[in-house]
Structure formats: structure tokens, C-alpha cells
A and B are shown apart, each in its own frame.
Chain A
């Protein structure tokens, strides 16, 4: 179990003589990944989703808030003491081509971390080879074929499976998958997503799934939770299927409306939402962060910042029943996603 409360990160832009400009990447994000759970963070570039993943994996510090792993607040530990905890959280990133050392065979790649595990657990050396084969079988590839090979001899899909197998050598509790399928061929993407789902069920590994493609979040498990991140703030969260079929925040609606319609198979949603403007850098922070682009914003939105769960408007009670929360003064359900032609 891993929880984050009020995770805040501020990047300081260099270059200015008169003092650095501060750019908030995360503005007090709360979340929890349970054992075997699936939590997806959705957002565009600059939303802070990658920064969040790196903080959770222990690769980045944060400026405020607390990460709690298995009941232990990380802020109470020294940097060295934290390492064993963060080892239980493994990061899988976007590019399986650069994530593997090209001069090592897959066998060598898996052997090093497994030796460390064997030493820690007092297991014999012979355990290492068996475990490597076992892990590769678990991620759905033939160990006999893959073990002696170098990364360049494998397809993108296979490499990503090897990366996942390597993460599993640490017996992680949580896998942080940052755009883990965006560089994989379309015909193979579902295979990787199904594998993540399978690992949740079989090993009880939690998955923190970070993506800009909302549709993929459905495929790591329909029991998952979805967080929509905009400029470092969670603007809507709830059950994945619920948020996708019944989005309330205009930003979530914009994201879902932007997903291409497969004409011939689908008809566009009746109330697709298009933002008024493109996102700009260095926008001011007063009021709702989405107000300037939002087609439904009012004067209140310009001046006041809505808080997740507290400012839900009249529909709030209904929304919270299903665990759905949003930060919007004017929430309204809209049908924005495509409908099957046959339906």
C-alpha cells in the first residue's frame, strides 16, 4: 500500500537575473494505490503526471506533502533508510529501446538484480537462473529464445516485456508505468496492457498507470481508479469506467472529446467539448486553472479556485455516491465519447 498526501512540487526556472520564476508542477495531489490496485493518472504534457511518477518511484524529491509506504512516512527516514522502501516501487517508462543496456544480453540484464535479491534472501546462486526464466515466462515470452539475445534483436513489444520482467526481479508492490505502451506497435499494445492487468491479479502488484491516452486506462482493469490531472491539480477523480462514461469536469470532457472517432464503427458523442484556446505557458494562477480555456467559465471561475470534492456544485451528492469527485463550480454531465454505430 502506498499513499501520497498533498504532494507538491515546484520547479524553479533558471535564467532570470531578478530571481527565478516558480512553476508549480504538482499542487497538493492526494492518492492511494492499494495492493493489486490500479490507479491511472491522465493528463497532457505539462500536467505533472511524469513528475508524480518519478516522485512515487523515489527518483525525484517533492517540496511538500508525504509519501507513505507500508505505513511508514518517508519524511521520517534518512535518504539511505528510504532506499529499501522505494525498491518496492519500480518504474517502467515509455521507451523500451533506451531502457535496456544494449551491450548486455537479457540474461545479464536480469542476472544482476536477481543476484542482489539472492544475497538479501540468502538464496543459492542456482536460484538466479531459474528465477530469470520464471519471470520471463510470467511476462509471456519464451526464456529459451530471449535470454541469450541482445535488446536490438527483440521487437519493441518484447523489450517492454523484458523491462517489466526486470522490474519484477525486485518483487515490487507497485509498478509505475509511465506511458508504457505509447511506443509499442498498435497491434501489440493490448498485449502489454493485459499483462499489467494479469500481474495485478496473479501477484497482487499495484499499478500506477500514467498516460495521455485515456482509452488505454480501461484495459489494465475495469476496477481501477482514474485521476485527471491539469497543470498539477487533480480536477476529477473516480472509478475509471465512471469517469470515462460520465465525465463532469469540462477539462475531462475536452480530453475525451479529443479522442478520434472511428467513423464507420462509431458516431461522435452528441456534446463534444472543445476548449476555447490552446494551452499557453506561464499562465496566471488566480481562479480555476482551466477557466481561460473553458467554454463554460464564469466570473467566479476567474477569481476563485475550486477545490476537489468540496466545490462540486449542485450535483455533488449524486457524484460522490460513486466516489466521483471534481473541482468545478459548474459541473454538468455531457455525453462526449463516441457511441458504437450498432448501439
Chain B
């Protein structure tokens, strides 16, 4: 095919988030929504970030575009993308070009982020012009290909206004707009929220297929563990602005180590299994204002809390490709290690 298509299949870039802290200005001073997050997205993989309201997951996602809005501010850290450098140092025109070109973003409630006064096609051309695309015909052709790839009649969709499309169709239009400039890093914020079950399953399948075909590095942000389990390779669990656990999705779900992950999994309504084993986590998710300033952020809801959890924040410990930030899980691991030494 054309050189244009060939360029698509260059290797997927890796993304390294290091020690990222994002603070929001509140009457009580600047409070961290994301604190000291280290997260690496391996090239060509889908990473799922799961968290409840107030966990900092959407703020983390916006940091990949360096798009945290006031009263928020990125206070520390770096977001390095292969071939692009540290996104957090980009300013002005460079930053604007990066967004969409290198990093595609499907916003939360993408179905509501389209312009109601313009057809999808006009919005596509606007996108092309703002990124100085010379071959606008080629852009439209690519958009139609992508839409067809996702099971839609491209020509019809481009001629439509957003209100003429269903929720699942708008979501796919959002994905098309994020990919049409050949971004290699794609961030999807709650891609299936408010969609019906069958539509959700279809969208998740499409995300997985398009990800593989175009060799992308993908980040999916969601509150729905199930949605991530279905689509992601690795899973990061966020709580109170921290990544408390991270690892391959089957391992994190199959043998969760952090008490929050364990509790969250127990709290998911499921189709099979013993009803009496399922239960809600006690307490409620913290907000910016109620986050403890020292010690572990999860301790108030934790069934394994110890004295040290009140005073010291647990460090992230990585072992065998799995990262956990928990004093209790730590102790378990060191105990196991010690036993091995004795044997």
C-alpha cells in the first residue's frame, strides 16, 4: 500500500510516567489528586487503569496530554513518550501538534463531546486543517476506512450530525477521530460508560482489534474492572491518587495482593458463584479533602491495617513484574522470602 499506510506500522512507542504529582488548588491549600505515580506502558500493550470516583484516574490520563486544567497543576514528575520526549516540557504550538497527532484521546462521554452544529465530516476536516494535513481527501478516506472497520457506513456517518447517531456509534466516531491522524499512543477515558452491555462488548472488541492492527500503545481508564479485564494486558489499580497495584491482568485479578484490589474484586456483582461471599467494601472512597496526609491512603477501609499504616506511606515494591504498595502485602512477601532463605 502507500507510504502513508506503511508509516502506520512502525513500532509502538513506550510511555514512562515517573513520580507524577498533580495538585488541585482548594480553599484548604493545594491538595494532590495524583501523588508520586510511577507507571510504565509497555510498547504495543493495553494498560487498564481502574479506580473509583476521586481516585485520580482521569487526572492521570489528562497528564499524558499535558492537559490538566486550572485549578489543577502538574507539580512534579515526567511523562516520557518514545520519539517525543517528556510531554510535560512541551508548550504552545508543539504541545498542540502533539495532541491528536501523537497522542489520541477519546474523552469521557465521547458521545457528548461532538459539536452538535456540525456534521461529523466537517469536524473531521476541522481536525485535519488544525493539524496542517495537506491531503484532506486522504484523511476522509482514512476516516471512512476506520469507520467501516468498526462496522459503520463511513459516508453516511460523515454526513450525519451527532444527534442522528446512537450512543455506540458516537463512541466509535470518538475512537475514529482519536486515531485518524495516526496517533500511536491512545488514551480512552471511560470508553464504555453509559453504553448497553452488547454495545459495550462490541466496542471493547473493536478497541482490541484496532489496537493490534495499528500497533498502538493504549491506556484505558475506567471504573469498571470487568471492562478492563476483557480488553487489557496489564492492570493498574488506583486509590486516593496512588497506583496501589500493577501487573498482568490475569495475575492481578487471579491473585490480588493489595487489600483494596481484593476488596474491589469481592464487591463486583457476578453472574456465577456464591452470593454470600460477595460484599461491599466498608467506608467510602476518599475525596481530595478527606485524604489522609500521612500513612496509607486506604487504611481506613482496610481489614489488614497495622500500626505502621497510620504513620508511614507504603512504598511501591516490584517483584516478578508485579507492583504493590502495601505494608501488609510487603510483610507477606518478605516473610515468604525469609522462609525460602531458611530452607
Interface contact A262-B198, CB-CB below 8 Å: no
Question: Does chain A have a CB within 8 A of B98?
Answer: no
- Given known pairs A157-B284, A188-B281, A215-B271, the reply for A262 and B225 (CB within 8 Å) is yes
- Across the interface, A186 reaches (CB within 8 A) one of B197, B249, B255, B264, namely B264
- Across the interface, A214 reaches (CB within 8 A) one of B151, B255, B271, namely B271
Interface contact A44-B198, CB-CB below 8 Å: yes
Chain A positions within 8 Å of B52 at CB level: 185-187
- Given known pairs A259-B197, A262-B225, the reply for A186 and B270 (CB within 8 Å) is no
Question: Does chain A have a CB within 8 A of B168?
Answer: yes
Chain A positions within 8 Å of B273 at CB level: 340
**B255 → A minimal CB distance (Å):** 8
- Given known pairs A157-B284, A185-B285, A219-B275, the reply for A193 and B269 (CB within 8 Å) is yes
Distance A244 CA – B269 CA, assembled complex (angstroms): 13
B279 closest partner in A (C-beta): A190
Interface contact A258-B201, CB-CB below 8 Å: yes
Chain B positions within 8 Å of A214 at CB level: 197, 271
Chain B positions within 8 Å of A193 at CB level: 269
Interface string of B196-233 (1 = CB under 8 A from A): 11111110100000000000000000011111011000
Chain A positions within 8 Å of B249 at CB level: 263-264
Question: Does chain B have a CB within 8 A of A334?
Answer: no
Question: Does chain B have a CB within 8 A of A278?
Answer: yes
Interface contact B275-A222, CB-CB below 8 Å: yes
- Across the interface, B267 reaches (CB within 8 A) one of A187, A259, A265, namely A187
Distance A264 CA – B255 CA, assembled complex (angstroms): 8
Chain A positions within 8 Å of B271 at CB level: 214-215, 218, 244, 256, 259, 337-338
**A172 → B minimal CB distance (Å):** 24
Which residues of A191-207 are within 8 A (CB) of B? Answer: 191, 193-194
The residue in A187, A219, A245, A340 that gathers the most chain B C-beta atoms within 10 A of its C-beta is: A187
- Across the interface, B225 reaches (CB within 8 A) one of A186, A278, A279, namely A186
- Given known pairs A185-B284, A222-B275, the reply for A263 and B229 (CB within 8 Å) is yes
Interface contact A155-B196, CB-CB below 8 Å: no
Question: Does chain B have a CB within 8 A of A189?
Answer: yes
Interface contact A278-B151, CB-CB below 8 Å: yes
Distance A212 CA – B200 CA, assembled complex (angstroms): 12
- Given known pairs A188-B280, A258-B197, A260-B204, the reply for A337 and B254 (CB within 8 Å) is no
**B112 → A minimal CB distance (Å):** 15
Interface string of B7-27 (1 = CB under 8 A from A): 000000000000000000000
Interface contact B197-A264, CB-CB below 8 Å: no
Distance A257 CA – B205 CA, assembled complex (angstroms): 13
Interface string of A282-308 (1 = CB under 8 A from B): 000000000000000000000000000
Question: Does chain B have a CB within 8 A of A318?
Answer: no
**B284 → A minimal CB distance (Å):** 5
Interface string of A220-247 (1 = CB under 8 A from B): 0010000000000000000000001100
**B244 → A minimal CB distance (Å):** 13
Distance A210 CA – B284 CA, assembled complex (angstroms): 25
A197 closest partner in B (C-beta): B275
Interface contact A186-B267, CB-CB below 8 Å: yes
Interface contact B223-A338, CB-CB below 8 Å: no
Distance A158 CA – B285 CA, assembled complex (angstroms): 12
**B195 → A minimal CB distance (Å):** 9
Chain B positions within 8 Å of A156 at CB level: 53
**A246 → B minimal CB distance (Å):** 12
Interface contact A264-B253, CB-CB below 8 Å: yes
Question: Does chain B have a CB within 8 A of A216?
Answer: yes
Chain A positions within 8 Å of B319 at CB level: none
Question: Does chain A have a CB within 8 A of B303?
Answer: no
Interface contact A194-B280, CB-CB below 8 Å: yes
- Across the interface, A262 reaches (CB within 8 A) one of B201, B226, B255, namely B226
**Residues in chain B within 8 A of chain A (CB atoms):** 52-53, 151, 166-168, 196-202, 204, 223-227, 229-230, 249-255, 263-265, 267-273, 275, 278-281, 284-285
15 additional A-B residue pairs with CB within 8 Å, beyond A215-B270, A255-B198, A264-B251:
A44-B198, A185-B52, A185-B53, A186-B223, A188-B284, A189-B269, A212-B196, A260-B230, A263-B249, A263-B253, A264-B250, A264-B254, A338-B270, A338-B271, A338-B272
A-B contact pairs, 27 of them (CB 8 A): A155-B284, A155-B285, A156-B53, A186-B267, A186-B268, A189-B267, A191-B280, A194-B280, A212-B196, A215-B270, A216-B269, A244-B272, A255-B197, A258-B198, A260-B224, A260-B227, A261-B230, A262-B225, A263-B253, A264-B253, A265-B254, A265-B265, A275-B198, A278-B151, A278-B202, A281-B166, A341-B254
